[in-house]
Amino acid sequence: MTDDSAAMPLADEPAEYEVTASDLVYAGRVWDVRSDTVSYGDGEIVRQYVDHPGASAIVAIDDERRVLLIQQYRHPIRHRDWEIPAGLLDVDGESPLETAQRELAEEADLTASSWESLLSIFTTPGGNDEVVHLFLARGLSEIGSAHDRAEEEADIRVEWVPLDAVLDGVLAGRLRNGILAVGVLAAAERLRRTEAAAGARD
């Protein structure tokens, strides 16, 4: 590593390799499975992956420093896991922020006066191309429910949990949803830095 590269911020690097064949293996209701043949090095590799539309997720924190969590059944893991509100980027022309605002209303009957972008993550880069955009929502207000919840959403459990308790659950391995974990850790650090900066100005 050169001195120049050592001074550069660490970052993921985009890489484009020629895709010589791309086959639709399975067309699903929400996402598809593809099989790509890729020119790589001196040969070719074949990789199957979930072709995902992406999603937005929301860390909603109220004035009492509580996080909105929802619990619902997730069949692949056979758990009712705790999550933060989230939804697919499946509406044409809708930005990730607009998706987050819609999902907070649909899943939690809430609106927010303050929205901050936290970060975007690849959830499972070896198995799908999903990108989740995480937002911090503050200044929360209740709105009337206009969304009919069915299937797994019909018995969603909603809880307001102190941020520190959620962090404890993540670090102890009791709360294992990846988007929840990344979201609350990022939100806690954002709040810490914001409060530290405000304290330094005083």
User: Domain spans of the chain?
Assistant: 3-51, 55-201
> So what's the pLDDT on residue 2?
53
> So what's the pLDDT on residue 80?
95
> So what's the pLDDT on residue 144?
78
Query: Vertex 175, ends 170 and 181: CA angle to 5°?
Result: 55
> So what's the pLDDT on residue 198?
83
Please give the chain's pLDDT, 202 residues, in tens: 555 556 889 999 999 999 999 999 999 988 999 999 999 999 999 999 999 999 999 999 999 999 999 999 999 999 999 999 999 999 999 999 999 999 999 889 999 999 999 999 999 999 999 999 999 999 999 987 766 665 566 678 999 999 999 999 999 999 999 999 999 999 999 999 998 888 787 6
- Give the integer Cα–Cα distance in Å for 116 and 60: 11
- Give the integer Cα–Cα distance in Å for 131 and 1: 30
Structure tokens at 75: 């069949």
> So what's the pLDDT on residue 49?
97
Q: Please list the alpha-helical segments (H only) found in 88-177.
A: 96-108, 163-171
For the beta carbon of residue 103, count every other beta carbon within 10 angstroms: 21
- Give the integer Cα–Cα distance in Å for 116 and 125: 25
> So what's the pLDDT on residue 56?
98
> So what's the pLDDT on residue 201?
78
pTM (whole model) above 0.95: no
Q: Any idea which residues carry the catalytic annotation?
A: 153
Please check whether the domain covering 55-201 is classified as CATH 3.90.79.10: yes
- Give the integer Cα–Cα distance in Å for 37 and 48: 9
Q: Which residues of 40-54 are buried (b: 16+ CB within 10 A; e: fewer)?
A: eeeeeeeeebbbbeb
